[in-house]
Amino acid sequence: MAQTAQIQKQRIRKRESLIHSKSGFAVLIAALIIVMVISVGIAVSIGQVSIPLVESYRILLYKLTGFQFGSTPIEAGSYTNIIWQIRFPRVLMAMFIGAGLALCGAVMQASVQNPLADPYILGISSGASLGATFAILIGFGAIGWLGQTGVAFWAFAGAMGASLLVLALAGIRGKMTSVKLVLAGMVINALCSAFSNFIIYFANNAEGIRTVTFWTMGSLASSGWNKLPLISIVVLVAILFFLLQSRVLNTMLLGDEAAVTLGINLSVYRRLYMLLTALVTGVMVASCGMIGFVGLIIPHIVRGLVGSDHRKVMPVSVLFGALFLIWTDVIARSLISSVELPIGIITAMIGAPMFMYMLVKKGYGFGGN
């Protein structure tokens, strides 16, 4: 029995050494990219109208590069319109949203030194919900120069306002700390939720309440080419920035005292990271509603694979988050025939049991734990 346990431990160490090595990490990144390409092709093929996988790749390759393979010419037919105008923008939106949420989750967990943190720890979700509820039920969603983007505008304004309130509250009377940030986030979450419920309770608008309910559960149904530029630019810039911040993020895991000895003022970086993650998450929430658990569980899974070094955690989290949301969206729109479920329901149904399992097994790893 003891010999069998020893053999299992040796196998685990061998597997970890392969993943943690430079070549093993490069293989992991390459494998994730390949799976991503395959997943995109499958995702655009699945729906109410089933499209052959080869045909999906033919259309995507032709639209992206102008190259056409196969004897059948690609024309502006029903398959082309379905893939290029409806499904492909939605898959790209899922990819960017998933990558952004996972990125923000990894940054948040390092910044507040709390493995239970996610992109909504600053009250972003409740602030965005308050803004959207205000726009939909009180009637400021589509007036004046805001047009049809009114709900998104107010949701973003609510998310940023809540985040700024948390930062101001956490910075009162002394240096901002991770504990004060978490507590301030809880207070603002409760406050914004209370105001949202107050508006809903007195609103005499059944259709508006249904809209608010669906929005708060998250959905990619409104995805389109018009929304992709803002989301893609914000997420890509955030990815590039935080990939260059791995040293500071690793230092945050050591604590404030260790950072002082290294000459790094974590309070300044923490405030900067909070604002940036709030901005990124606010843009994403304004576009597709609130999608929970992605920023919470993906960094845990990644740290279990590659360790706590953010030089590896950040890129792998981005790819894992993108893959996770692509397939979650496929499940949401194909699980029940002719009915599309809010994607937030699916992420919660998958994420909550997964997180409970990780808590029980204590296999998520954070810092040196």
Whether residue 4 lies inside any domain: the answer is no
Whether residue 8 lies inside any domain: the answer is no
Q: What is the pLDDT of residues 245-283, one digit of tens each?
A: 999 998 888 877 777 777 777 888 888 898 888 888 888
Whether residue 173 lies inside any domain: the answer is yes
Whether residue 86 lies inside any domain: the answer is yes
CATH number of the domain that residue 173 is part of = 1.10.3470.10
CA 41 vs CA 2, 66, 127, 313: distances in Å: 47, 17, 36, 26
Whether residue 77 lies inside any domain: the answer is yes
- State the Cα torsion 361-27-281-206 to the nearest 10°: -70
Whether residue 243 lies inside any domain: the answer is yes
User: Looking at residue 119, what is its pLDDT?
Assistant: 76
User: Looking at residue 113, what is its pLDDT?
Assistant: 80
**Residue of 113, 117, 110 whose CA lies nearest to 314:** 110
Q: Answer with the residue of higher pLDDT: 6 or 217.
A: 217
Task: Name the residue range of residue 246's domain.
Answer: 15-361
Locate 287 and state its tokens.
């576009």
pLDDT above 90 covers a percentage of the chain that reads 25
* Average pLDDT of the residues in 286-297: 86
The structural domain count of the chain equals 1
Residue 181 CA, chain-centre distance (Å), reads 20
User: Looking at residue 304, what is its pLDDT?
Assistant: 84
Q: What is the pLDDT of residues 190-236, one digit of tens each?
A: 899 899 888 888 877 777 777 777 777 888 988 889 889 989 999 99
Q: Report the predicted TM-score, pTM, of the whole model to 2 decimal places.
A: 0.85
Residue 247 CA, chain-centre distance (Å), reads 22
